[in-house]
Amino acid sequence: MAACPQCQKSIPDWSEVCQFCGAKVVISNKAATTNPHARSKLGVPKKVMAIHMLGAAFWMLDGIRYTLNIMGFPNIGSTKMFAGMFLFVGLAAATLVVGFLLLVKVKVAQRAVKTIAWINIVLGILTFINPALFAVWTWWIILNLVFTVLQIVIGGYMIYAQGVIDLYDD
């Protein structure tokens, strides 16, 4: 424990501000490295940034999967075009681009995170309601089901992580 330079009360070594008087405290290098609430360069907890980066990488893979589904993979050319397909093309492109922009830390991409996460969660849930999905079990259907479960879970984590990031950016 350290003493506040202004009020002399005992505060944690890693504290940046005195919890009693609000005075700014200079942190020693040792205290900064032992801080249980360690922050990344952006000020956001490292665990939250890790979740965010993993989610961004998954979104890139999921965008590729969407694109392959739209093209009719594994039987390319067998898919008939329908009006709703343009929605999926847009979502595939948005998921892929936002995932990439988050990985390279472009701040403007953070504005789209919650929207894309909610859309992915809703579409993931709707996927399980589709009875045609379970008619034939192939390796591609099973892979899509695994991605769908991950899509729902990672969508929730991305909403959480972006909420924490938004708190630190204010």
Q: Other C-beta atoms within 10 Å of 16: how many? A: 15
pLDDT, mean of residues 117-135: 79
pLDDT tens digits for 85-109? 667 777 788 888 888 888 888 888 8
Indicate the pLDDT class of residue 132, thresholds 50, 70 and 90: low
Residue 20 has pLDDT above 80, yes or no: yes
Work out the average pLDDT over 121-128. Answer: 83
pLDDT digits (tens, 9 = 90+) for 42-62: 477 888 888 889 999 998 888
Per-residue pLDDT, averaged over 129-140, amounts to 72
Residue 66 in this model has a pLDDT that exceeds 70? yes
| 153 pLDDT tier (thresholds 50, 70, 90) | very high
